[in-house]
Structure 1
Amino acid sequence: MQVIDRVELYYVKTPLPAPHAPSWIPGTIREHVSMCIVRFVTEDGIEGWSGFPAAGRERAGLGDLLAGLFLGQDAEDIDTMAERIQIMAAGGNFNWWIEPAFWDIKAKAAGLPLYKLLGGTDDRIRLYASSGELRAPADRREEAEARLSEGFDTMKIRVHDFDEAVDIEHISDIATYMQGRMKISVDCNQAFRLTQNGDAPLWSLDRAKRFVDAAADVGLAWVEEPLFGEWHEEMAQLATHARVPVAGGELHVMGYRELARMLAMGCYDIYQPDAMWAGGIGQCLKVAALCREKGLKFTPHCWSNGFGFIVNAHVFAASGFAGEALFEYPLSPPGWIPEARDLIFAQPFLHKEGWFHMPDAPGLGFEIDQRNLETYGRCFFRGSRKSVHWMPEALSDL
């Protein structure tokens, strides 16, 4: 039993080498990687870490919940830990990103990398390059050539224009240009709308049908999230219509129950739940097992930060799909590169010619760079079973 004795929360903000304009948040320019990091420590001194994107300081009040729900509990009892995360959700806080920290502890206690603890045997996974920005056709061609030269044989691009003809032109141009050399897929980012800084298109079922028809005509590998996330019935209609695989599922915060319902309805051909949003590691692996049973594909989403990448890499390596599917590798130079995204870690999560070699250290398999944590982060909550300490002033200079 690994009893949780202490918990700490950090707000971390590390710099990017160049501005990054994520396609799914129109009008937004990112110059930093901002995140909330949690560190649990057991009575035996085993640490469990996880971290989640932060727009700012919106999780500054999370400490009391974590202290009340998790201190004194057995970190290895994942079902109870998940139930307590669900209690937080009932109060309006969906915090599935916390669950991997308990798996980190459990696997470290067992002396195994997490994916091996979960039954995985593939120590390396094949990747596809996942671009995060909108680009003009000529720039997209240059990007594809760069990724091909680095060892990737599949690249995912983004479209997000109000004019559907522009979106179709983008996929047609790059697919035709790279035909026979590299497979192209596309993320439409229609499952949710982040419009706080700029307006965004909202596709209808008819527009999505026209787009998947165009994608099939030019041989795209898959089309990702072409409809709003709660439109389950429309998704099923689209998947029946499409001549190209339709993928999605990353941010379904209700987890396994919702995704299992969607699977039964035939919403997607490829399921991509992200453990940091969609129910944690345990529920995502249940989705993978259901996909195997139904003859569908499974590969998690991981576009968030280094924690999201490595957590979902363990899910994928343990899922049984690592030998037959590709795993996402976020890469959008010059701004979004792993060396900058992963500054908080002792080593960035780098690919080798389009492959990622799973860590062989116990747990999630990383070490935190304590110097960078001190430089770019501030601990704003520290709690134990004896006392709790709030440090709101620690955020004032970040």
Structure 2
Amino acid sequence: MTILSRIELYHVSVPLPVPFRPAWIPGYPQTHNRFDLIRLVTDDGVEGWSAGPAMGRERAGLGDLVGPYLLGLDPTDIAVVQQRLREMAYLGLRNAWLEPAFWDVKARLEGLPLHRLLGAESGDIGLYASTGELRAPAQRVEEIRRRADEGFTAVKLRVHAPTLAEDIAQVEAVVDEFGDRLRIGVDANQGWRVTAIADAPLWDLDRARRFADACADLGVAWLEEPLPMDDYDALSELTAGARLPIAGGELHTGGWPELRMMIHRRCYDVFQPDAMFTGGIAQTLKVAEECRNHGVAYTPHTWTNGFGFAVNLQLMAAVGDREGLLEYPLDPPAWTPRLRDALLTEPFTHHRGKLTLPDLPGLGFTVDRAALRRWGRRTCTVTAGRLALRTLRDKGLRATAELARNRRGSAREART
């Protein structure tokens, strides 16, 4: 049986050429692409990687948790991995982004890309260009013209203005120019409102309805996150009466149980769970199946980092609608594939609005070790020896021996 013998954690900070001002965090000039990275190594040398977005070094002590919970597991036993992550979450730390690294190991051991391990064929995935910053109508029209010239057939706008009239004006300007050429979606970024730095509009059901009606009249293809993500009653009511598809679901850290409830309540027409937040790959597979069973669509959110994009790309290929389109974050010069995927040897670059699925085993990428040395700092290394020494210092000889006996007994039971 393959055993997880080494865990490494890194904090990565990739400088951006100009500040990026995400619509979802008003007033925040983002100067770096920051994320925390995990590297798993098995006893036979197989690696697995994943990464979770970070604001700073808020996960500095994570190594103290992941070692005791994850070291020594069979990394291909995803059910046990899910249970351990669930137990870690009892302490208030939901780190779904760790789980895809185990799928990376599992697929590499099989010598297959994850989408093929899950039964899908290789090929191309269609993309929609997902904008990130807020812009005035004239600026937005010029931005969308560049995306159309690059071959995209669909785009997503960001609205977050103080007044409904300003939001509608932006959409009208783009529809007037491109409505006969492009599918146009709109993200209101109301699902998880952030006002720590600057104020942001707070939509209620009435405003969401009026904006949805205006978008429907303009021929908008979908409206994303028009209400707070946990206002289940209002979401169901809005979706039931809307004349265009209502989408959302990217950041529901309750994962499968929460999203299953929302599917049953028809909170959205299009569910967009991001596996890096919503319980990992295993739970997202269950969400996608439940969507199919209840006649609603599944297409993942992808706006995190290159590792997160890789995970959700594989899921889209495996269980998404291959006739549909995958979100492709693109807001140059601050946010480009090269900057998003800075630690990968080959960025996930599009060609005329499409992306060819990678055929590398695992999640479909190779880590650029030179880039990792340049922009990453290793914060923790956990091995059996290091964990034993730390436990001995922390708990003393008697408690350490008791823990070792209990772990050996648990491992024997798991094998029988």
Aligned twin of 1:363: 362
Q: Which structure shows the bigger proportion of residues in helix conformation? A: 2
String of CA shifts for 1:334-369, please: whole Å, max 9, x gaps.
110111121111111101111111110100111111
Deviation at 1:265, TM superposition (A): 0.7
| 8 A contact 2:298–2:320 mirrored in 1 | no
Q: 2:47 & 2:108 partners in 1: Cα distance? A: 8
Q: How does 1:202-241 map to 2 (within 5 A)?
A: 202-241=202-241
Q: Is 2:5–2:72's contact at 8 Å kept on the other side of the alignment?
A: yes
Displacement of 1:329: 0.2
**In the alignment, structure 1 residue 341 sits paired with structure 2 residue 350:** no
Confirm or deny that 1:98 pairs with 2:109.
Answer: no
Mark the structure with the bigger radius of gyration: 2
In the alignment, the residues of structure 2 paired with residue 119 and residue 211 of structure 1 have an alpha-carbon distance, to the nearest angstrom, of 40
CA contact (8 A) 1:131 1:331 kept: yes
Q: Deviations over 1:169-206 (max 9, x none)?
A: 11122112212111110111111122221111110000
Matched residue, 1:152 = 152
1:248 aligns with 2:248: yes
User: What does 1:313-324 align with in structure 2 at a 5 Å threshold?
Assistant: 313-322=313-322, 324=323
Deviation of 1:320 after TM superposition, in Å, equals: 4.4
CA distance change for structure 1 residues 11 and 320 in 2, over 3 Å: closer, same or farther? closer
Q: What residue in structure 1 maps to residue 399 of structure 2? A: none
1:223 touches 1:244 (CA, 8 Å); kept in 2? yes
Q: Residues of 2 paired with 1:303 and 1:110: CA distance? A: 28
- Equivalent position amino acid for 1:321 in 2: D
Partner amino acid, structure 2, of 1:189: N
1:352 aligns with 2:351: yes
What are structure 2's unaligned runs of at least 5 residues? 391-416
The answer as to whether partners of 2:299 and 2:320 remain within 8 angstroms in 1 is no
Read off the aligned partner of 2:239 and give its amino acid letter: A
Where in structure 1 are there 5+ consecutive unaligned residues? 391-398
Q: Which moved more, 1:283-292 or 1:219-228?
A: 283-292
1:230 and 1:107 mapped to 2: Cα distance? Answer: 34
After TM superposition, the structure 1 = structure 2 runs for residues 170-181 of structure 1, keeping only pairs within 5 Å, are 170-181=170-181
Asked whether the 8 Å contact 2:138–2:173 carries over to 1, the reply is no
C-alpha deviation, 1:287, in angstroms: 1.0
Partner of 1:302: 302
- What residue number does 2:408 align with? none
- Cα deviation 1:244-298 (Å, max 9, x = unaligned): 1000000000111111111111111001000000011111111111111122111
Superposed CA offset, 1:8-42 (max 9, x none): 00011011122111000001111110110000100
Deviation of residue 122 (structure 1)?
Answer: 4.0
Identity of aligned residues (%): 50
Native 8 Å contact 1:272 1:300 kept in 2:
yes
Instruction: Measure how far apart 1:123 and its partner are.
Output: 2.4
Aligned to 2:326: 327
Query: 2:237 and 2:131 mapped to 1: Cα distance?
Result: 28
Residue pair 1:17, 1:340 contacting (<8 A) in 2 also: no
Letter of the 1:275 counterpart? A
Corresponding residue of 1:394: none
Q: What is the distance in 2 between the residues matched to 1:320 and 1:12? A: 30
Partner of 1:375: 374
Which residue identity lines up with residue 345 of structure 1 in the other structure? L
For 1:14, the aligned partner's letter is V
- Equivalent position of 1:396 in the other structure: none
Secondary structure of the 1:386 match is: helix
Normalised to the residue count of structure 1, the TM-score between the two structures is 0.96
Matched residue type, 1:190: Q
Distance 1:296 1:100 in 2: 25
SS in 2 for 1:240: helix
Root-mean-square deviation over aligned CA pairs: 1.1
Correspondence for 1:189: 189
Is the 1:7–1:40 contact (alpha carbons within 8 Å) kept by the matching residues of 2? yes
Counterpart contact for 1:156–1:186, Cα < 8 Å: yes
Moved over 3 A (4+): none
- Which residue of 2 is the match for residue 33 of structure 1? 33
In the other structure, the counterpart of 1:288 is 288
Paired position in structure 2 for 1:386:
385
Counterparts of 1:23 and 1:165, CA distance in 2: 18
Amino acid at match of 2:128: Y
Deviations 1:352-391 (A, max 9, x none): 111111110100111111111111111010010111499x
Residue correspondence of structure 1 range 81-96 to structure 2 within 5 A = 81-96=81-96
- Quote the Cα distance in structure 1 between the aligned partners of 2:320 and 2:64: 38
Which stretch of the first structure deviates more once superposed, 168-177 or 327-336? 168-177
